[in-house]
Structures are given as C-alpha cells and as structure tokens.
Chain A
C-alpha cells in the first residue's frame, strides 16, 4: 500500500531511520559488510571458470520488508504447495492415480529424466519426499504473488538468509530495537529437529544426522559447512561413508558409526554409483539398497525432481486441486509448453516479449529474456526452439515489483524475487518467516541469479 509520499507503509519506520543516516557512513558500512563476508569466507565458486575463483555475492544493506499479513498469505500458499507436491510424489511413485485420472499426460512422467524407476513402490520414512523446499516467488503488486519455481530437489541459499540477518544485526542493531522483525535464527535448530523427526522407524535413540557434500570445490560448499556447523552434525563426503551391516556408516577416528538421516547436497545422479552414474565418486555405493530396506532417510528423497521440472510446474495448480481439493492460493505464471504446437507457434511469434527457459535448466543458465535480447539473440534462440521445442517453456515477462537498494547516489529501485524455505517432516510443515531475497543489481534487469551477477539482501517479515 502506498501513501501520498510514495512510501510503502511497511517501509515507513525504516525510511524514518534511513533519512537520518549519512550516505557516506552507509557506504562505509557496506564496504565493511563485504570485508566481513570475505573474512568469514562466505563465498561461492562459479562453474565453468577455469581459475576456480571464489566470489562474493554482493550484499545490499537495505532490507526487503514484507508485512505480516502478506507473509501469512504467502506462508499458507507455500504450505499448501509443499503438501500437494509431497502427495503428488507419493502418488507418482506408487499408484499413479493422477495419471489414471488423466490430469497429467503420462509422457510428462515417463519421459522425464528426473523420474527414478528405482523409487517405484516404495514409501520413504514418514512418507516425506521433500524435507526442504525453497519456493521462488515474485511479487507483482499488493498481495499479488506468483510462484516461479518450486525447487524441490536440493534448494540452496538458506545460509545467505541467515548470514544476511546476522550481518544486519551487527551493522545496525538500533534498527532492530526500532522495528520488530520476525526471527529467522531458529532455522538450523528447526532443520535438525525436522530431519530427526524424519528418521527411519527402525532408528532407536536420538537419530544421527549428517550432511553429504560433494566437497570443498562445490559452489555451495560454504552453505554445507555452515549448516553442519549450525546444526552440530557431521559434514561428510562420499569417501567417508560405506555400508556396514546394512546401514550407511561414517568413518570416524573410532571406527564406523551409523547414520540415520542423510541431508544430501549431492544430485540424484551421483548418489549411488551402483544404481545411477557408475562413475560417480561423490556418492555411496549401495546406499539405495539401504534406503529401500528402510534403514536410512535421504533428504530430499531421490526422484523429487520430477515435481519441480518446469513442464510439470505448469500443472501444479491442477496437482494442488487433485490432492487437496482446494484452489491454489499462490498463482502460477502463465506457461506455454513449447512441446505443444500452438504454444510453440505463439512463443515464436512473441519471442521478444517472453521469457523462455529450459525445462530442466536451473541457475539462470540457458534462458532468454525476450525484452532484453538483441535481434541476433532472438533469431538464434528461435532456431534452438524449433530444433527441440520440448526442451523449452515460455512465460510472459511479469511486471515485477521493485524494492530500493543502496547506491552511492542514494536509493534506487531494482527487481527482486524471494525464496522462503519450508521444512517438511511427519510432524508438519514449518516455514521460516523470511527467506532469501535476490536482487538484480543492474537497473532494469530481471535476472537475479548470483551466477549472473545478482545480489542478496536481508528479508524482514514484520511482527503485527
């Protein structure tokens, strides 16, 4: 809601504080924050760069502020979505009612690379498939939100949610006494509790949880070590693990110790060389057998990718209705599946106004932002589309809302998205009030991915 002076009511208190600040002091704080991130080693590695250079994600010191009522709606919408997605996954890997009912075309599943036949006729411990979900959301207007992606595999970015808040608390403690912001700091504790609650039924005593990382050269390694540290659990790699007496066990200084819940940050394909990619050294040979025997929880379950594929995405409103009997609370962006001839035709003739994405792509790679593309880029992309239409979906460019960022010349508007994090366990769904706000630092740009020069900012959900 805007008032006469053009300031959203949620930003009113912040703006009062901001107008009393000296720009030079803030610029200094901004540099300090960067130095702190560097010293702490909050960096990511960029794929495809030979020098394996570690980079910082730029941090903007103006928080993105969401009112409690907007948040409540968002949270209800996310809750509904993740429940439906879990029901969908269980159905797809068991009775496949939704296919029999004709709500979803069979080939969408049958020809889906993320669908794992090894998961058929199996129910993971507690019936939970997606223990951690990071739903990408954009706001286009007052109380108007669209879901961009469901990220049901291994969403990353939660460490930035936590570190950004920590940094704000350190830099501007006075703001938090002036403005009441909901706490995000319990996330690691809640994550551990949620993972423990998802332990196999056969597990006695307090479950042993571990995080499986591909190693220190992975782009999200910082996050893996951060979460292990914050939860107080071991951070393991494939070569630390082996199967001992039908359980997955980690090599400790005192011998092998059983793991009950493995929060893996390794993709399905690399999880078990005996079942999937035989050349993988990142996984654990035989873990799928242990899993199917019910002796370990893998979070998220293998094969969840079938629910967050961009073609399946376009059916999520139907999926929600099928399993919950409710209308979707959060909207989907209108999506043209280029595998359908009419949609392809429409996409090709409106290319300069659309965003076209690879069905299996992520991280902002391989996508076309029509309005920002040159004639040449449009023509090239049209060729790619015609060659393999089933690889692409197209969406209208939304008039994304902007929020202010701090620049040397004062505040300036930039486009943002929001990734809140939901934890799912047999005990229920827990959504941390806040999330990762990614911001396109270039004026006018709609691409917020860190791999494409985006930044982050703290996200505040106000108390009532």
Chain B
C-alpha cells in the first residue's frame, strides 16, 4: 500500500469514528436532526451541489454528495466534512468562499442563511439518512499488470528469423523485415539506382546533396565493384559518418526532440548562451559520444565526475537541456511557476527519452498508462531539488561562468579590472563634471534647473500627486522650484507618479532626487515600472544622496519606446517624512546625447566633456573587443528534498510527501539510491540509461529508424504508451535495442547498421504503382530500370500494405526546411560551411522581428520562438516549444507563395544563375543538364529540356547578358519550386 493510500485509510478511520461518536451523541435528538436535514439540507444539496457531485452524474473532484457514504469518503482532497467540526470541514470552507481556489458553488455564493444552515448541520454531527449509497471506487493503478504492456518489458536478444529468399538479405535487419514480408507473400522492392541512393545517403547522413562529381564518383565505384556493391556503399557511408556535417544533421534531429530554442515567447527574451548547448549536441554526435553518457550529461552533467576542464565544460553546457523550455516567466504565483517548470522538464524527459506522457499524471493518475500521480511527484521531487529560475516579477533563467583551464581566465580578470577601472574613472569624471555644471547652474536659492541634467528628468512639479503633498524649499539643494514632502501624515494614502515622456527604447540608470535629513523616512517604497516588470526599492532618505549630493540610483532598467514605464514614490508603511524632488532617467551605454539640439540649456549639460567622451568611447571599444567571459545556462542544486503530491495539480492543495524516485513500471531491480542532500538528478541519469530500463534504448533506435526510413517501427516515436502505436516489428526493435546497448550505445554504429541494410537501400515507389514491374529480388545485378520491374509485387504490396508498414519499399520523403535552405544555398554558391559558435547578431535584446541574414547551414540559424526564419515556418520546421519526434508533412499554399515570391528565393536563384553562366559549358543544353544535376541530382528528360529552351532566351549574342542571367535565375527558381526538388526518392 502506498503512502497516500495509507493516509486516506487512516483518515477514513478517524472520520468513521467521529461519525459514530456523532451518531451516538445525537441519538436522542436524531429525529430532529433528520428533520433538519430533510427540511434544510436535502433541498440545498439538490439545488446547488448534486448537479456536479453525484454518482452517475459528474462526480467532480471525485466527490459525491448524494449519500452519507459519498461525503464521508470524500473526494480527491479527502473527506468533505468532519461531523461536529466546522473548521476542518472542507464543505464549510468552500461554501463560505474562504479560499479563493476552492469556492462552492462556483457560480454564485450561497446566501448567509444557507451557509448558516450548512454550519448548523455540521455542528449537529451531519445527520444524513441517505445511507447505503455507492461511492466512487477509485481505480488503483496496478503496476504489475501495467508492466505487461510491450514497452515496459525488457528488450530481449533475438535470433534473426529464417527466410525463404536467402539471397536478398544483407544484414539481420533485412532478415527480420523479409520474414514479415514473406509471411504476407510480399517481396521487397529492387535496389535503388546508385545515383538515387547517393542522394538519399547524403541527405540522410549530412543533410546536404552530393555534388554531381560526388555522385559520379560513387556510381563509378558502385558499378566497378561488381562483386561487392555493399563495399562501395559502406565506403561512402563511412566517409559521411566521419564528416563533421554528420553531427549537424543528426544534432538537428536531436534538437527537434529537446525543444531547442534561443529565445522565449514571453517578451522575446533572448537566451544568448543557448547556442553552446546546440554545439554540444553537434559535437557529441560527431564524436559518437555513447548515447547513455549523452543523456546522463544532459540531466546531471554538473554532478558527474570529469577528467579535464574541457570535459567539465561539455558536461555543464549539456545541462542547458533542462533550461530550454518555453516558460512564462511572468507567472506571478512563483510556486506554481516552479511546478510548471518542473512539469515542462518532466514532460520533455518523458517524451524525448522515454516516449512516455508523464505530464498526464500531474493532476491525477495517468488515465491510460500505469503511471500513478505518486510516480510523477517522485520524479518531480528530483527536478524540484534544483533551481531553474531566479524569481522576481519576471523570473529569469540561470547563467554561470564556464570554468576555464587554470590561467586561461587571467585575460577575463584583467579585462574586468580594466573595465571596472575605466568605468570608475568615467563615473568620477562625470560626477565632478556634473557637480561643476550643477554648481554653476545652481541658483543662490539652491535651485537647480532640471534642463541641465543628463537624460530625461521628471521634476516633482510634473509628478502626478495623489493625496496632499507640501512643496518646500527648506533644504537648500533642490531641482526646479523645490521638492515635495508628505508632512509625515496620511501614510499609505499618498503617492507621486513620475512618468517620463518620450523615453527612447534602451537601458537607463533610474535615479531619485530627494531632500535628506534626520526627520526623513528610512524605508520609502519606490516602485520602478519598466519593461522588465515592476520592482520595489526601499530608499533610506536620512543620509545625503550619494550621487552629486542629490540623487540615489534605483538601479538600471530597460524601457521600451514610448513605454508606459514610470516611477512611483509611495508612503505606505513609512515612519518619518517622505520627500521627492525629481526622477532622472540616464541612458546607459550611450556616449552622449545626439547633438544639434537648439536648446541652449543642453549646451551646459554635463557628461559631454571631451575627456568623458573619450573615456566612454574607449570603454565601448574595450567592451566590444575585449574577451567575453563565457557563460552557460544551467540549473543549480538547491533545497534538495522530497515533494508532496499536488492534489489535482494545485499548488494550494498538498497531499502526502513522496520519496524521490522513478517510474515504477519501467524499473527492474533495485533503483539507484538518492543521497538525502542531493537532488537525485545523477541517479535519474543512471536510471534512464540503465540496461534494465526497458524504454530508453528502444526509444532511441526507433527515433533513428524514423529519421532514416521516414516512419518508425513504432509510428508514434514520442509515445510508447497504451495510446501510442504498437511496433510493427517488435523483434527487430528488441534486436536493435539490445545491440545498441551491447555496442556501447554508439549512434554511428546504429546508423551504419541501418543504412547498410538492403531494406534502406530499396527503391522508393510512387503512390500509384500498379503499372510497374515485379522485382527480381534474388538477382544480384543492379536494377537500373527499377521502376520498370515492379509490377505485380507492387500491386500486391499496395493492396496488402498500402501504408508500407512492412517496409516493402523505401518511403518517398519530403526534404525538410533545413535541407531545402542548405541545398538552395549550396547551388547558389552562397553556403557558408563554418561550424559552431554564436550566430545571433550581437546586441539582440528581443527576438521580435529578427532579420535572419546569415548564410550558415540552417542548423545554426537562430531558433527564435517569435521570429523563426520564414522558410522554416513555411516548411514544417519543428515547433521549438514541443518535443517533436516526427515533423508535420504539409503541402500548403504559403509554401507555394514562398517559392513564387520570396525575395530570398529569387536572390539565390539569381546567384545560382550567375554561377552557372560562369561555368565553361558548351551550350544551353549542357547548362540545363548541369542545373538539373545540381538541384535535382538527375539529368533532365527531353520534355524538360524542351520546356526550358522555350523559356530561356536563345543562346545568341542578340540576347543581352543581364536579361539572360535574369531568365536563368527564374529558371532556377522554377527548379527549386518543383515537385522533384521537394521530394527525396
């Protein structure tokens, strides 16, 4: 029996006893009690409660109020009432509307008299003659029973089955597939033509098309190796696996799965260090990092032992995985926000690593899978034991300095020192300049004209006053005509709002000028309302203001163009006089105000002296060119401990504490023990990658299969639960999973094994294949005219297995957004193959309207949640807020509009044309052929040549060069827009 059950059971005993006591106590007046129930309570229940709380009706929250047994047993939150005890009876607190989260009836509060009736009833011991009612029996999840589902059984080593056509299979993978085909009297399709195979391999392994020369080389190799074509294929595969572009292609697959992005929807916050995680992923795939280690690093890299600083860096950056969720940092209920973050992490870990929808168990036991709420909170406790956000009005993710090899951080220390020194000099120089100007400008009365001050100044005269404020000039230092004070009266009812007009977007040092003195308040609440949210700063107005004897800095804040930002000085909770003189907004990082203002006063403005200007320029240069201390995003061990069940997912309604742990249904043998003072993330990593975890290896080999074959052995790659698909080839899935683990979780070995299967190398066939020829599967000769030889088998296949679940042919697949973009750039000669590093333009503070202008490979295009590259959006890029194991596959008009009209497509087409026309080719026919090979990887048909020649201006001196280039550009555009470019055979 688990803890929560035990607790319920105990409660039930207590309630029952109380009930009995109540019964005996009121035995004498039982008739009265029953009468009271019949007269007052039954109608109340009937009219206001039963609609949602009765067996056979809605039974919301698991609570039935149509019988005595119903309320005694209670709902998800425990018994509805305790006879005789008003304060612990939830029914009473609910009808009293005491708790905002828990008010009944929800639509309208009962009248006071009705509430009094309920109270009286409970006081009476809750007499209720409606006995013998049924209660909702909660279905308990039976873990042992649940374990029977295929996905929770440990994968077993499998012997490849015997097949009739022994000549066809090249690998064990083939044998598993062929056995199933033969059982249905189906045959595999012939081998793909070598050129098509080369194109498929290039796109699948490195995400780029082969050049015509690369295709030719492979075809030559393939055709000369008559005895052993497989060796020619293996040679190509090995060279592609060794290519640094392999990690770019496969890393991107992984980034789909882990909802990788570089900004948050909320306010377009840019996570400028996220790229390190992207590079970590790419490097891991390139280095063939064992997948088990890869996962452990992502959930607990900060807690793992490490050999070198470089290794430590990698492991730390890996944990960025936990921080990439698209979180609404503005949620005001921070407890809820914490649980939302945990939920997002769990949901991602569940789907990405385990193909489990764990998130479903946050509010109730999983409806379909054997995941009790208890398991959810066992896992939640682990994640809750690390801090992911620093809370404030708008919370913030955490960044830490990357550890560096000893000595290497010297440059940063020195740089920081230099910056600090210069900043201090500027400050001093400015202050003395300011003081000088202020002194010069200060009238004998003590007044200083606000106009001479830097930035935007809102004087107290312009402030919006609430309540009585008294103007004064008693203290002789003030701005404008004096300052205001609250007379130390009417505390809490007064305020001053300083609203700057025409503030330009940017960061400002916000300063308050006040009039100091012994009688002043020491804790004046000053609220700064900026683009970063609102922040309350307490100002002690007794000492002299530290800046120029007038101002105190309230901090630096970002304001938007014409924003609604303001500063509010309040008096609530203050003892002593509150004063306010002015609020100054001084731009940060701006060298000087733009000159040319006619305002004479501006001339006298401080901060514009030559020396300050010079120093500021120097500082700017230093900051821009100087070394930037590398930072990384991560979480931090914090407050390790178990978490309570949140009943119905509510942070207000906590149940039993659950020891940290893992999914019971997917655990075999003893679970790793979590040290009391640690989060347990390291143990989570161990559990995830244990050989005794039935899910992890299966889920990944299925993902790899999906990425290579277009559909998975399990067609729901992110859901292996009861609502997901069952494997079409369970033995093959097991075989691959067991081998994957046995081979040291090597992704490259797995990929190699899959692409070297003959199944992968089959020809793809069009949807309508009825007219095609039958294959001759045991014929070792190359099937150069594959499409001619598919007839009867294809017809049968189409009939028996139209969805190709048995993989009797290769799937024709769409090129994804990245492949489209990279190919266009490669053909146009614009592709920049540089690897790694930050790509986001420096100084990007929000992602709104970001202009993607780089020509790096698409995997490096900043993934900005409010501003994805347009091509990505049009062509089904993975939603960067969700776990995406398989992308959408749409054909929609916006894609056509993009290809027809987007300037980028037209520009690239023009570049491609220029490049083509510069090539030493004999004539237009040769050029057309070249263009076809570059874009589509094949030669044009006669019909295509005819159409092209008709469109292109004749290759004669008469046609002007510019016009000719333009036409060739448009021709390229048509190729990019063509069906054959969109599909990979």
Chains A and B are bound partners:
no
Q: Residues of A at under 8 Å CB distance from B?
A: none
